[in-house]
Structure 1
Amino acid sequence: MVERRIVRTLGKLTPIAMAVAIAITAPGLAAADAPRGPDVSSWQHVDGTGIDWFQVKASGHEFAMVKATESLNYVNPYFIQDCLVMRAAGVSRGAYHYADVRQSPEAQAAFYSAIVLGINGPGDLPPVLDLEDAKGLPAGQVIDWTHRYLNTVQALTGRQPIIYTYPNFWRTQMANTTEFNHYPLWIADYNGQNAPGPLPGGWSNWTFWQYTSTGRIPGITGNTDINVYSGAQGDFDRYANSVGFGSS
């Protein structure tokens, strides 16, 4: 997401490497027909421009991750608008909360769950925690915060959350803890290769891979992150409550 770009140097995929990333089928690699989709926030609404989710869908993108909330008081002003049009277009919805580890995890989990209406309807992927800023706190404190947030969200939504992070953050700010590797992983790694590099935290596989921040998708103004689903959680339509969703 845009927020993390100030804290790390990002690589870029060449067009050839990007094609390879979605064209090879092997364990840990992205299959040619794997579901793909952007992640967006208010940054993709340049000067208030809307996203044409029908174009996004027509260009072959089956899902999108949308920023819903941050901390205890921020709601993406385009979240509801995007969600309504995504549903009409048949684009499965992921919704993420950008963590503020200085504030109550339970309160943030409740805030997020209320805004996303439980994230358990047709076309909904499980809840997502975007964890990429320790705010200067020690690893032990951030680890405790993360346990409490995830436990609360799961209790409120009935679904196991997805963790979004990037390798350097997890290894340095989370002390490379292995306490969360039973959660689905959404990893950001712009390494220019055909799969993410070695995973942090004892994860043996990834569920989503954010492989570029400079993608271009019809219907979205400017660059956007693009992600691919690995199949680690089984059939995508079932994982996204999408059986029959968006069909004609």
Structure 2
Amino acid sequence: MDSRSRRSTRALMLSALALGAVLPATVSAPVAAAPTGPDVSSWQHTGGRLIDWFAVRRAGHPFAMVKATEGLSYVNPYFVPDSLMMRAAGVARGTYHYARPELPPEPQAVFYAATVLGQNGPLDLPPVLDLEHSGGLSPAALIDWTHRYLNTVRALTGRMPIIYTYPVFWRTAMADTDQFTRYPLWIADYRGNPAPEVPGGWPTWTFWQTTDRGSIPGIAGPTDINVYSGAQGDLGRWANMSGLFGSS
């Protein structure tokens, strides 16, 4: 997700892997020829350059995730132009809020929902909660925070949110809770395995962030790349454009 906020979490991931702390529990899911797409924030706008979403779409990427908000005050300055150009190019749009659990969840959910003006129109994927930091909360408190945020966003947008996280964080900061399995999972796992590790009792993953060093035409510099598993059915239908992308 956001490059600045990922540095510390990635260091923790690598440290845990080096110590053998990760015990892979993979779920088989086909990824060959599955739909792929980037996720972007202000960091993909090097020197203020806009993303060429038509080039992204021509390169075969039918969806993308865009950072919308963080905490209670930050709005991605490129959120509006990215959103407009994605729609014009026919790229299905997911939008995410970067969680700051040291701040109350309900106002963050309202801030996000007001910024994205809902997430239920044509070419809209469900809203995403990017959960990578505990904010100093205990697992029990963070689990409660997450429930409250997701319930509020669901009430405001009318859609079941997606949770973005990574295995080490979920197993430690969230005590590997299985309380969120009804939400689609977007998991970050860069180890190059046939499938990602799926924590928290989820039966499968929906999106898999396979790298943060990908290259996509139309985006300056490296970008995250994600795979859609098909767990929610046809991608076009899920993005409120039935049949747009064909069967997944």
Q: Do the two structures share a fold, i.e. TM-score over 0.5?
A: yes
Q: Deviations over 1:204-240 (max 9, x none)?
A: 1000000011100000000000001001011110111
TM-score (norm: length of structure 1): 0.90
Alignment check: 8 A CA contact 1:91 1:246 kept? no
* Shift, 1:47, TM fit: 1.2
Question: Superposition pairs for residues 82-121 of structure 1, below 5 Å?
Answer: 82-121=82-121
DSSP-derived class of the 1:141 partner: helix
Q: Distance in 2 between matches of 1:178 and 1:4?
A: 24
Q: Which residue of 2 aligns with 1:6?
A: 8
* Shift, 1:246, TM fit: 9.1
1:28 correspondence with 2:29: yes
Alignment check: 8 A CA contact 1:89 1:246 kept? no
* Shift, 1:102, TM fit: 1.2
Question: Superposition pairs for residues 35-50 of structure 1, below 5 Å?
Answer: 35-50=35-50
1:145 correspondence with 2:137: no
Alignment check: 8 A CA contact 2:132 2:166 kept? yes
Q: Distance in 1 between matches of 2:7 and 2:226?
A: 16
Question: Superposition pairs for residues 118-133 of structure 1, below 5 Å?
Answer: 118-133=118-133
* Shift, 1:31, TM fit: 2.9
Q: Distance in 2 between matches of 1:59 and 1:188?
A: 23
- 1:146–1:233 distance in 2 versus 1, CA, 3 Å: same
Q: Distance in 2 between matches of 1:94 and 1:103?
A: 23
Q: Distance in 1 between matches of 2:238 and 2:146?
A: 23
Q: Taking every aligned residue pair, what percent have the same amino acid on both sides?
A: 66
How many correspondences in the alignment? Answer: 231
Q: Distance in 1 between matches of 2:9 and 2:185?
A: 20
Q: Distance in 1 between matches of 2:183 and 2:126?
A: 11
Question: Superposition pairs for residues 1-248 of structure 1, below 5 Å?
Answer: 1=1, 2=3, 3-9=5-11, 27-32=28-33, 34-197=34-197, 199-243=198-242
* Shift, 1:29, TM fit: 2.9
* Shift, 1:35, TM fit: 1.1
Give unmatched runs, 5+ long, in structure 2: 15-26
Q: Distance in 1 between matches of 2:221 and 2:138?
A: 36
DSSP-derived class of the 2:51 partner: coil
Q: Distance in 2 between matches of 1:31 and 1:112?
A: 34
* Shift, 1:27, TM fit: 4.3
Q: CA RMSD in A?
A: 1.6
Q: Which residue of 2 aligns with 1:23?
A: none
DSSP-derived class of the 2:208 partner: strand
Alignment check: 8 A CA contact 1:87 1:246 kept? no
Q: Deviations over 1:89-146 (max 9, x none)?
A: 0000000000010112111111101111111110000000000000221111111000
Q: Deviations over 1:18-49 (max 9, x none)?
A: xxxxxxxx9413131x1110000000001101
Q: Deviations over 1:140-166 (max 9, x none)?
A: 111100000000000011100000000
Q: Distance in 2 between matches of 1:85 and 1:114?
A: 20
* Shift, 1:5, TM fit: 2.6
Alignment check: 8 A CA contact 1:123 1:245 kept? no
DSSP-derived class of the 1:193 partner: coil
Q: Distance in 2 between matches of 1:208 and 1:81?
A: 24
Give unmatched runs, 5+ long, in structure 1: 12-25
Alignment check: 8 A CA contact 2:9 2:132 kept? no
AA in 1 matched with 2:152: T
Q: Distance in 1 between matches of 2:96 and 2:239?
A: 14
